[in-house]
Amino acid sequence: MAFDCDLFVIGAGSGGVRAARVAAGHGAKVVVAEAFRVGGTCVIRGCVPKKLLVYASRFADDFAAAAGFGWTVEPPRFDWPTLVDAKNGEIARLSAAYRAGLDQAGAALIEERATVVDRHTLRLSGGRTISARHILVATGARPEPPARFPGLEFAITSNEIFDLPAFPRRLLVVGGGYIAVEFACLFAKLGAEVTQVMRADNVLRGFDEDMRAGLRDELGRAGVRLRFGALPTRFERRGEALLATLSDGGALTVDQALVATGRRPNTAGLGLEAAGVALDAAGAVAVDDRSTSNVASIHAVGDVTNRINLTPVAIREGQALADHLFGGGKGVVDHRDVASAVFATPEIGAVGLTEAEAQQCFEAVDVYLANFRPMKATLGGGAERTIMKLVVDAGSDRVVGVHILAREAAEMIQVAAIAIKMGATKADFDATMALHPTAAEELVTMKAPTRRHRRAAS
Ligand code: FAD
């Protein structure tokens, strides 16, 4: 049977663009449809603009610390529109680079919304239909609050916060996940009065408890007012401001409310059910370990599959799928020991198991913990702490988890992840010479376990 193309990719984000470029490189005829902007969430309204805002926020601490190192700094002033303009310039440059990458690889780009008609046919919003031997769903995810309540329409999501026309002097952040934490921290450092509310009793469910506790303290130091066990029940307009009523009986008036309580795979209205594609309970495309759905010609990578929702994972899945379909590759991605970060200030970097998870997996677990004041603070001032943690399977001596709360923790954990992936033991860490003076040297100089867990014999 002849098709218009070998691969039709829905969504020009991290996963889709990589799959399209690699498939075209293998000689496949590739068409990509994008409904919004080439580059997807990461480039347009995720990782990249977020990190640029984080950089901007950190100057506040540097200006404050400078006096301790002999500098005289004029009272600094921050201008939000200048930052938004600069950020927009950079994401336009990156989006153009993604577009050029597709073009150079020979993949055709159609800037329209695409939906699936059947297992080999797509319809574009302009009305055209296209047939494809393979369809790749790489549509990502979107912010979606789990509960609706009166006035929710007055709130914004991470999609809107990057382009607010005015800096929110008073900001309510709803949610305790990494996106909520990052925005709460960076806006507090940029000078906003930030209140963060969440249902849970601490931030960052799923992260190691020592990291959660450490970052909670740092958020407090950054000026974020944390309210646990509370969620908004109503937003009302009060002129330009918003009145938020909370489930704990409290109320507060803010300029903006950012709801960052959940994201949902982008499958609604895509036509997948009609094509017979199975979705899971969260609405994600259910795929096998080669990113293929229950329909052999329809595949999915990235956030729409709700496996590990990070850009490098989407890229790796897109690459593996394209190599598998058109280059003879195996197509399987190893989702174990994926490093992740929370770009608060200080950052969290994590790879492998938390202390609690390791206790579930192993009979005997040793935990090495260092908690200290970073060297820069000795002259720069401030009460910030650095926490380093190794989680070790005492039976094999293998380091099964590394967790860091520190400035540049993300940079450190990327390197530590190589050791974890290689199966490094605590003895390997100990055999590594320290690099002084750094924070990271603590990772190779922790001698005695701080905590030892031994499973009781049953
Ligand atoms: P996306 O990049 O979301 O791309 C999907 C594309 O499909 C979009 O461009 C969309 O417009 C398009 N599309 C959807 N439906 C259709 C349709 N029917 N027709 C045509 N096009 C369609 N990850 C990290 O690794 N590090 C971070 O620091 C990080 N920070 C983040 C911060 C925020 C605020 C957010 C929201 C996310 C962050 N992420 C981060 C997650 C990361 O952005 C995603 O994991 C990644 O973008 C997923 O890539 P994807 O290819 O699956 O989807």
Return the bridge partners of 454, or none: 364
How many residues in the chain? 458
**Cβ atoms < 10 Å from Cβ of 102:** 22
Name the average pLDDT for the chain. 97
Instruction: Give 113-147 pLDDT, tens digit per residue.
Output: 999 999 999 999 999 999 999 999 999 999 998 78
Residue 132 CB partners (closer than 8 Å, separation 6+): 3, 4, 5, 6, 7, 8, 31, 120, 121, 122, 297
Q: 152-261 falls under which CATH superfamily?
A: FAD/NAD(P)-binding domain (3.50.50.60)
Does the 5-142+264-327 domain belong in CATH 3.30.1490.20? no
Q: How big, in percent rounded to 5, are the helix, strand and coil portions of the chain?
A: 35, 25, 40
Assess contact for 117 and 275: CB atoms under 8 A.
Answer: yes
Is 5-142+264-327's fold the same as 152-261's?
yes
> Which tokens belong to 349?
């970097």
Spatial distance between the Cα atoms of 311 and 47, rounded to a whole number of angstroms = 8
> Which tokens belong to 375?
């060297």
**Cβ atoms < 10 Å from Cβ of 166:** 10
Q: How confident is the model at residue 241 (pLDDT cuts 50, 70, 90)?
A: very high
Spatial distance between the Cα atoms of 186 and 344, rounded to a whole number of angstroms = 7
Residue 4 CB partners (closer than 8 Å, separation 6+): 31, 130, 131, 132
Residue 1 has a pLDDT of: 75
Residue 37 CB partners (closer than 8 Å, separation 6+): 43, 44, 95
What is the CA(286)–ligand 1 centre distance, in A?
18
Which residue has the least CA distance to atom 6 on ligand 1?
11
Return the bridge partners of 123, or none: 115, 129
Looking at the predicted structure, is the pLDDT value of residue 458 above 70?
Answer: no
Mean pLDDT of 195-209: 97
Q: How confident is the model at residue 182 (pLDDT cuts 50, 70, 90)?
A: very high
Ligand 1 nearest-atom number relative to CA 125: 19
What is the CA(54)–ligand 1 centre distance, in A?
19
* Domain ranges across the chain: 5-142+264-327, 152-261, 340-454
Indicate the pairing of strand 193-198 with strand 170-174: parallel
Spatial distance between the Cα atoms of 442 and 108, rounded to a whole number of angstroms = 50
What is the CA(426)–ligand 1 centre distance, in A?
37
Please, what is the end-to-end C-alpha distance for the chain in angstroms? 62
φ and ψ of 149, to 5 deg = -150, 165
Tracing tokens 């100057």 back to the chain, one arrives at 59
Sheet of 251-254: strands edge to edge? 232-238, 241-246, 251-254
212-219 long-range CB contacts below 8 Å, 24 or more apart? 214/371, 214/385, 214/387, 214/405, 215/181, 215/342, 215/344, 215/346, 215/348, 215/405, 217/385, 218/185, 218/344, 218/345, 218/346, 218/384, 218/385, 218/405, 219/181, 219/184, 219/185, 219/188, 219/344
Spatial distance between the Cα atoms of 256 and 48, rounded to a whole number of angstroms = 22
Q: How confident is the model at residue 45 (pLDDT cuts 50, 70, 90)?
A: very high
Spatial distance between the Cα atoms of 109 and 29, rounded to a whole number of angstroms = 12
Residue 456 has a pLDDT of: 83
Which residues lie with the beta carbon below 6 Å from any ligand 1 atom? 10-16, 33-36, 40-42, 46-47, 50, 113-114, 138-140, 158, 179, 266, 270, 302-304, 309-312, 314, 343
Substitution site in 9, 37, 42 for ligand 1 pocket (most atoms within 8 Å of beta carbon): 42
Q: Which of 352, 335, 435, 439 is nearest to 390 (CA)?
A: 352
Residue 441 DSSP code: G
Q: How confident is the model at residue 457 (pLDDT cuts 50, 70, 90)?
A: confident
Tracing tokens 């509310």 back to the chain, one arrives at 197
Instruction: Please list the active-site residues.
Output: 436
* The three-state (H, E, C) secondary structure of 335-364, written as one string: CCCCCEEECCCCEEEEEECCHHHHHHHCCE
Q: What is the CATH number of domain 340-454?
A: 3.30.390.30
Instruction: Give 301-354 pLDDT, tens digit per residue.
Output: 999 999 999 999 999 999 999 999 999 999 999 999 999 999 999 999 999 999
